Amino acid sequence: MAPVFQYIVRRILLAIPVLFGILLVTFVLARLIPGDPCKAMLGEKATQEVCERFTREHGLDQPIPVQLGIYIRNVLKGDFGESIRFSRPVTIILIERLPMTLELGTIAIIVATLIGIPLGIISAVNNNTVVDVITMVGANAGVSMPVYWLGLMLAYVFALLFKGTPLALPPSGRLTAGLTAVPFYEVYNILLEPESIKFHLYEFIANLYILNSLVTANWKVLGDVLRHLILPAAALSTIPMSIIARMTRSSMLDVMSQDYIRTAKAKGMPKRTVVFKHALRNALLPIATIIGLQLGTIFAGAVLTETIFGLAGVGRMLFEAITARDYPIVQGFTLVIAIGYVGINLLVDISYVFIDPRIKLD
């Protein structure tokens, strides 16, 4: 077996105990909810009879290890229980809400990377100059800002102060009232069986408004969706951007002080080639790690950002579920987000092989 392949397989195997641990933590947290689990899961109005049936069906009268087994089996089947508030499966709600958050999170992390890395490079190249100091003060302020505060202030400035100017931006929602993102399967007359897996999959893709409007060539909707995403993405990307900029700066400074860079400079190589070809490539590894870790900030930030900007994504749902004490949703969403986080950081780990071929494959 090729060593690269071996490395990848080993990484995946190493993630399994962590995933099991995550399952265990969410299971324990669910059992620790004070009071009757039935009342917690079905709401206070559940009657004695309903409760008894619920307890039997969910194996809550079984010993704890058996309950854990049932829980894991359900999760593996993609069954996270039923929402108290909506009386619908948590999984379906998740599928409906995820596209919004994916769209927002992807844009935020792209913006953070595309601005953060250049800022860090500029800062490192101009080490200890005014540019460096200003960038780093900015980055320090950026990591210290509460996302929700930044979001609210942006909304105030761009939706109220700039009202009527070309700079005005919508402070809430995904689309302007009156516009609809017609799903691609309706545009192209694809017939689907309602409630089938294929239907949910197509619906999921159609709910990625950017993708859907690209596929259906609906530029008006695309523009509107993007305009609605500017403020939340700006708020959400500030902290990751600052952290990426700081990491890029220190990683670049580290690499730039090495001998081979001095050699390259001494050879009379153009500065641009030294910085981008020689230094940046070797500085990328810690930057990739930190970008992966920032996805955690993005997921948590989505709870706050979506709440402020009235976006119907996973984060806002989670917030509403907390307020309404809709435990199944909180548990299910937390689990899925944690698994996603582990998965993405696994991908980052694997990407090391491609970023830096010298990496020790063990």
Residues within the interface to another protein (CB under 8 A): 17-18, 21-22, 24-26, 29-30, 32-34, 128, 136, 140-141, 143-150, 152-153, 155-156, 159-160, 250, 253-254, 257, 295-297, 299-300, 303-304, 307-308, 318-319, 322-323, 327, 330-331, 334, 337-338, 341-342
- In the complex, least distance from residue 342 CB atom to another protein, rounded to whole angstroms: 5
CB of 311 to another protein, least distance (A): 15
With respect to another protein, which residue has the nearer C-beta, 11 or 200?
A: 11
Task: Write the CA distances from 146 to 7, 36, 150, 239, integer angstroms.
Answer: 39, 36, 6, 9
Q: Which two tokens stand for residue 340?
A: 């996603």
> How many whole angstroms separate alpha carbon 43 and alpha carbon 156?
38
Q: Which amino acid is at 41?
A: M
Nearer to another protein, 245 or 308 (CB): 308
Query: Could you tell me how many residues make up the chain?
Result: 362
Beta carbon of residue 323, minimum distance to another protein (angstroms, whole number)? 6
Nearer CB in complex with another protein: 105/183: 105
Least spacing, CB of residue 197 vs another protein, in Å: 28
In the bound state with another protein, the residue whose beta carbon lies nearer, of 192 and 310, is 310
Residue 245 token pair: 């900029």
Nearer to another protein, 185 or 299 (CB): 299
Closer CB to another protein, 153 or 190, in the complex? 153
- Enumerate residues 6+ apart whose C-beta is below 8 A from 246: 120, 136, 139, 140, 143
Least Cβ distance, residue 207 to another protein (angstroms): 22
- Of the two residues 27 and 352, which places its CB atom closer to another protein in the complex? 27
Q: Which residues, in sequence order, are bridge partners of residue 89?
A: 82
Give the whole-angstrom CA distance, residue 108 versus residue 294.
10
Q: For the CB of residue 159, give the shortest distance to another protein in the complex, in Å.
A: 8
Smallest distance, another protein to C-beta of residue 188, A? 38
Cβ 86 vs Cβ 93: under 8 Å? yes
> Which CB, 287 or 335, lies closer to another protein?
335
Residue 30: CB minimum distance to another protein, A: 8
Residues 6+ apart with CB under 8 A from 359: 285, 352, 353
Q: How is 260-321 classified by DSSP, letter by letter?
A: HHHHHHHTT--HHHIIIIIIIHHHHHHHHHHHHHHHHHHHHHHHHHHHHTT--SHHHHHHHH
Q: Where are the alpha helices (DSSP H) in the chain?
A: 3-32, 37-42, 48-57, 64-76, 90-125, 130-144, 147-155, 184-187, 197-207, 209-215, 219-256, 259-266, 271-273, 281-308, 314-323, 327-355
Residue 283: partners with Cβ closer than 8 Å, 6 or more residues away = 248, 251, 252, 254, 255
Nearer to another protein, 215 or 322 (CB): 322
Whole-number minimum distance, CB 181 to another protein, in Å? 27
